[in-house]
Amino acid sequence: MPYVLIIHEVESYPAWKAVFDQAAGIRKQAGEICYRLLRYDHDANRIVHFSEWTSLDSARRFFESPELVALRKRAGVKAPEFLYLQEIEQGRL
C-alpha cells in the first residue's frame, strides 16, 4: 500500500486546518484514500499528515502541483518534508 508522510510547521493550526478541510474533495479526487493528522507533543503548530494513496505517482503529482504549492502557501505551511513510502508489513500487538 502506498503512503505519504508529511512533516511541516504551520503558522496557525486552526487556519491550516480550515484550508486542509476545504481541500478534502481535491485530495480524494487526486487519490488520497484516508489520512491521520498528528501534532508534536509540545508544539501544536508542528503537524504530521500521514495518508494512504491509490499510488505514489498520484500522490507526487498532487503534492508537487502548482495548485498545491499555492494552497500550502495560503495555509501558512513552512518547509514541508515529504516521504513517499511503500508498506512492507503491518501488525497489531
pLDDT digits (tens, 9 = 90+) for 24-73: 999 999 999 999 999 999 999 999 999 999 999 999 999 999 999 999 99
User: In Å, what is the CA distance from 69 to each residue of 22, 81, 83, 92?
Assistant: 15, 13, 16, 36
**Structure confidence at residue 82 as a pLDDT band (50, 70, 90):** very high
Instruction: Supply the pLDDT for residue 33.
Output: 98
Instruction: Supply the pLDDT for residue 34.
Output: 98
Element (H, E) at 13: helix 13-22
Of residues 38, 45, 44, 49, the one with CA closest to residue 84? 49
- The mean pLDDT of 6-23, rounded to a whole number, is 96
Residue 82 has a CB neighbour count (10 Å cut-off) of 14
